[in-house]
Chains A and B, each alone.
Chain A
Amino acid sequence: MSTVNLTMAILLGGLYAGGFYLILQRSLMRILLGIVILGHGANLMLQLAGGPPGRPPMVGDAAPAMMTDPFPQAMALTAVVITFALTTFLLALAYRAWLLLGHDEVRDDLEDRRIRRLERRLAESEEDEEEMETEATQ
């Protein structure tokens, strides 16, 4: 079994790292770009699983020994279509979020907001107590 060449390995690493970095951002547009890049990374990986790049997958273009495995290419084709469909879906979702909220930022989750509300209430009640104490001392 042949090893993957270094350029491809570095490229794959770059695509995955960049993709995950972008997914961790707050704006939905960047997350979307991250997913697109990750999808490219995964598809490239599938291609490489079939053999070194640059070889023909079709019968008749080269001797069987010099051909690449066509099966991963078929899988990559399916995966490309799926990633494409989901990218358009995410774009629509980002647009919807922008229409509804005026921005496409991913908000804090419900629990975070609840905790913040609780914190605010506690702070208010503490202030009340302090006021009462100061009134009492006066």
Chain B
Amino acid sequence: MTALVALPVLLPLMAAGLSLAFGRFADIQRVLGLVVLGAIIVNAALLLYVADVHGPIVLQLGGWPAPLGITLIADRLAALLLLVSSVVTFAVLIYSIGQRVADYGRGTSSTTFHPIYLMLCAGVSLAYLTGDLFNLFVAFEIMLSSSYVLITRRTTATRVRPGMTYTIVSLTSSILFLTVIALVYAATGTVNLADLAQRVSELPDGLQSSLGLLMTIVFGVKAAMVPLHFWLPDSYPNAPAPITAVFAGLLTKVGIYAMIRTQTLVFQHESTWQLMLAIALLTMIVGALGALAQDDLNRMLSFLLVSHIGYMLFGLGVYDIAGLTGVILYVVHHITVQATLFLVSGLITRHTGTVALSRMGGLAKAAPLVAVLFSIPALTLSGVPPFSGFVAKLALLQAGVDAGTWAAYGVAGGAVLTSLLTLYAVARVWSRAFWGRPQEPAGDPDPSDELVVGTGTTSPAMMVASGVLAATSVLIAVAAGPLADISGRAAVDLMHGETYRTAVLGGGAGG
């Protein structure tokens, strides 16, 4: 039973090694990757079921008791996010195989892509499942090192720079993370999250809040909250579509997850968290306005990503059960939607050969299926009922209004405004790219057009993958009832850390 907790990390790691060994056999690599990621979906679903019915599943690695060894723990939140993430990684793998086949034919393999992608999945799983601060750092490093390689693979002269920006910013924030771990250890003498929860509350107030703030900054860089978001719109759009999709869907959310976990379990707040509310409002508005200013489709989507990170911070800032329920719903919905949007944007640019919206047109007639695939996640993202974005936004807004402080009201107003701006931004894409007449390629190419890869053909696998993700986001709306229930229970767990602490440290143990 407890082995289930280790498998989502172990399977992709071992498969990565095998995949590298079979570097010359494209089909074996593909089947291996799909089988392993498919197995993780099943595994995560099982974990979610068991964690929901029987409480958190804990695995003490190597049999070392809790505060000494490394703990892996799957509670409701971790299992739920693992499930959604594994669906996304699975769909994106299908898409990238399809893209590879469309570009180079079936026989060729890319040797490194599959192993590195599997490593990335292992890192993401470990980040969700770990119950240890230093292990969380290691998980981030596994995930980020793989992402550095993915974003700088096959670099051309134009792609080197964004890759550098991404690598350097992430590395710097990782070193900051290490520094914070050192400070936390110096203050408390432990890095086990459950144990930390106890020890941190015994520290003086000033020390507590400064450690908590440092932690927020570290994860804020990873999650791209304003004003630490500057690297994201600059680097994400420059990777190939499937890679951007998995980065946008997962990496920033892992940052949010780490923030939720540490801020609820370790650094408890008394009431609504004014600073976080202010940052949430700023993130929403700056992201949405940035998106309106863009003519480049991928950059626009990246700014929208930043803006919607603000919603998750909003729920965290409200800091009660309703708020956290909203955050969990929002993260689940946003992981699938943002990944779908970037995949579809890959389809669009393959049809048009440009990322500049001002040069697109007539796609609704030329590629009706792409139009349908774009409209579903676009409407979902802007929160139009009956899609899943509406459910998540409604939960957040209700929590904000119920919180009843003027700050929460203000941010709730900002959230509504941001929804409208998002709707405007995606409607602009619709009217520019899908309506009108196809345009002649202009003589003076846009600087970012150098980044478009492979034009013309799309393979059915790419369509299927985007379709599967779009269907998943619709499914989230259909299953909103049970999902909201599970999120609610997960939020209760988060607010009362007792379940987590007893599961890790054993009954009665308290440090």
Given contacts A49-B183, A86-B171, contact A109 B148 (CB under 8 A): no
A66 within 8 A of B: no
**B165 at the A interface (CB under 8 A):** yes
Whether A46 contacts B182 in the complex (CB less than 8 A), given A23-B172, A86-B145, comes out as: yes
* CB-contact partner of B185 in A23, A39, A49, A90, under 8 A: A49
Q: How many residues of A contact B (CB 8 A)?
A: 40
Among A1-37, those with CB < 8 Å from B are: 19, 23, 28, 31, 35
Given A75-B181, A97-B164, also A110-B234 (CB < 8 A)? yes
Set of chain B residues within 8 Å of A48, measured between Cβ atoms? 182, 186
Q: A23 contacts B148, CB within 8 Å? A: no
In the complex, chain B residues whose CB is within 8 Å of the CB of A43: 178
Which residues in chain B, 86-113, are within 8 Å of chain A measured between CB atoms?
A: none
Say yes or no for A117: interface residue by CB 8 A criterion. yes
Stretch at the interface among A57-65, A99-107, A122-130: A99-107
Docked-complex contact A93 and B163, CB < 8 angstroms: yes
- Name A60-112 residues within 8 Å CB distance of B: 69, 71-72, 75, 78-79, 82-83, 85-86, 89-90, 93, 96-97, 100-101, 106-107, 109-111
Name the contact of B168 in the complex, choosing from A23, A42, A46, A83 (C-beta under 8 A): A23
Q: Does B155 contact A (CB under 8 A)?
A: yes
* Least CB separation from B178: chain A residue: A42
B185, A46: Cβ atoms under 8 Å?
yes
A94 to B163, CA, bound (A): 11
Q: A114 touching B447 by the CB < 8 A rule?
A: yes
Main DSSP-derived SS at the B contact region = helix
- Which residues of chain A come closer than 8 Å to B369, judged between CB atoms? none
User: Hey, which chain B residues are within 8 Å of A55, CB to CB?
Assistant: none
Scan residues 158-195 of chain B and give those whose CB is less than 8 A from a CB of chain A.
Answer: 160-165, 167-168, 171-172, 175, 178-179, 181-183, 185-186, 189, 191
In the complex, the answer to whether A100 meets B164 with C-beta atoms within 8 Å is no
Q: Does B157 contact A (CB under 8 A)?
A: yes
> B165: which A residues are within 8 A, CB to CB?
106, 109
Q: Is the CB of A96 within 8 A of B182?
A: no
Give CA–CA (A29, B250) in the complex, Å. Answer: 30
Least CB distance, A93 to chain B, in whole angstroms: 6
Alpha-carbon distance A87/B96, docked complex (angstroms):
29
**CA–CA, A39 and B234, complex, Å:** 25
When C-beta atoms are compared, the residue in chain B nearest to A79 turns out to be: B178
Distance from A113 Cβ to chain B, minimum over Cβ atoms (Å)? 5
- Using an 8 Å CB-CB cutoff, how does the interface string of B226-258 with A read, 1 for contact, 0 for none? 000000001000000000000000000000000
Question: Which residues of B140-157 have CB atoms within 8 Å of chain A's CB atoms?
Answer: 141, 145, 148-149, 152, 155-157
Query: In the complex, which residues of chain B have a beta carbon less than 8 angstroms from the beta carbon of A50?
Result: 185
CB of B92, distance to nearest CB on chain A (Å): 23
- The minimal Cβ–Cβ distance linking B431 to chain A, given in whole angstroms, is 22
| Distance A106 CA – B448 CA, assembled complex (angstroms) | 17
A50 to B152: give the CA distance in the assembly, Å. 37
Residues of B within 8 A of A110 (CB): 162, 234, 296, 299, 447-448
CA distance A92 to B502 in the complex (A): 46
B427: interface (CB < 8 Å): no
Determine whether B18 belongs to the interface, using a CB cutoff of 8 Å to chain A: no
Decide if B181 touches A82 in the complex (CB within 8 Å). Answer: no
Residue B430 lies at the interface, judged by CB distance under 8 Å to chain A: no
Residues of B within 8 A of A85 (CB): 145
Residue from A39, A42, A97, A109 within 8 A of B182 (CB atoms) = A42
A45 pairs with B183, CB closer than 8 A: yes
Q: A35-B175, A106-B164, A106-B165 are in contact. Are A101 and B185 (CB under 8 A)?
A: no
> What's the least CB distance linking A101 to chain B, in Å?
6
Interface residues of B in 34-67 (CB under 8 A from A): none
B218 to chain A, nearest CB (A): 12
Q: Which residues of B contact A71 (CB under 8 A)?
A: 185
**Chain A residues with CB under 8 A of B163:** 93
Give Cα A90 to B165, complex, Å.
Answer: 11
Checking A45, A97, A114 against B160 with a beta-carbon cut-off of 8 angstroms, the contacting residue is: A97
Chain A residues near B171: list those with CB within 8 A. 35, 86, 90
Asked whether A45 and B148 contact (CB < 8 A) given A35-B168, A78-B138, the answer is no
Contacts of B157 in A (CB 8 A): 100-101
Instruction: Say yes or no for B134: interface residue by CB 8 A criterion.
Output: yes
Q: Please, how many angstroms separate the alpha-carbon atoms of A85 and B144 in the complex?
A: 12
Asked if residues A89 and B148 are in contact (CB atoms below 8 Å), the reply is: yes
Residue pair B160, A39 in contact (C-beta under 8 Å)? no
Assess whether B145 is in contact with A31, with CB atoms less than 8 Å apart: no
A82 to B172, CA, bound (A): 13
Known contacts A49-B186, A97-B160, A117-B447; A82/B141 CB under 8 A: yes
Task: Assess whether A49 is in contact with B175, with CB atoms less than 8 Å apart.
Answer: no
Across the interface, which residues of A come within 8 angstroms of B156, CB to CB? 100
A35 touching B182 by the CB < 8 A rule? no
Complex-state Cα separation, A41 to B165, whole angstroms: 22
Query: Which chain B positions have C-beta within 8 A of A106?
Result: 161, 164-165, 168
| Chain B minimum-CB-distance residue to A111 | B234
Residues of B within 8 Å of A109, CB to CB, are 161-162, 165, 234
Q: Which residue of A lies closest to B450 (CB)?
A: A110
Q: Residues of A at under 8 Å CB distance from B? A: 19, 23, 28, 31, 35, 38-39, 41-43, 45-46, 48-50, 69, 71-72, 75, 78-79, 82-83, 85-86, 89-90, 93, 96-97, 100-101, 106-107, 109-111, 113-114, 117
Return the 3 tightest CB-CB contacts between A and B, nearest first: A49-B186, A45-B182, A42-B178
**Given A71-B185, A75-B191, A82-B145, 4 new contacts (CB under 8 A):** A75-B185, A85-B145, A93-B164, A96-B152
15 contacts between A and B (CB under 8 A): A23-B168, A35-B172, A35-B175, A38-B175, A48-B182, A49-B182, A75-B191, A82-B141, A89-B145, A89-B149, A97-B161, A100-B156, A100-B157, A106-B168, A110-B162
